[in-house]
Amino acid sequence: MQPSVTERTISTIRRVLAAGAIATVATFGVAACDNGEEDAEQEEGGSEQEQEQEQDQEEDMTQEEKEEMEEEMQQFEEEQGVEDGEQSGDDAEEQEDEQE
């Protein structure tokens, strides 16, 4: 005997398929309308709250941790070819903006 497919089963399958299609369209619609505000915050160094948290962490650091961080920064600058007194592109632009 073959299992019988009732009208109720077909109706349920259609509803589930339609709900999935609606959810898919909504998901892609939201993704397409993303205006990039979150990306802009990350490029600018994060939100004010994140910057405050960074400052708090720096204040809580011991002198030894600060010296270790400074050494790591010097190594990084040497690897990247940044000389003493020279700034990276982002830092130089920010400083120029502040001077104006």
Look at residues 86, 62, 63, 64 and name the one whose alpha carbon lies nearest to residue 74. Answer: 86
Q: Is residue 70 part of a domain?
A: yes
Q: Is residue 86 part of a domain?
A: no
Whole-number percent of the chain with pLDDT over 90: 19
CB-based contact 82:90 (threshold 8 Å): no
Please state the pTM of the whole predicted model.
Answer: 0.33
Q: Over range 7-26, report the average pLDDT.
A: 94
Amino acid (1-letter code) at residue 6: T
DSSP assignment letter at 6: P
Q: What is the dihedral of CA 14, 15, 20, 21, to 10 degrees?
A: 70
Q: Is residue 89 part of a domain?
A: no
Q: Is residue 17 part of a domain?
A: yes
Amino acid (1-letter code) at residue 80: Q
Range of the domain at 62: 5-80
Q: Is residue 88 part of a domain?
A: no
Q: How many domains does the chain contain in total?
A: 1
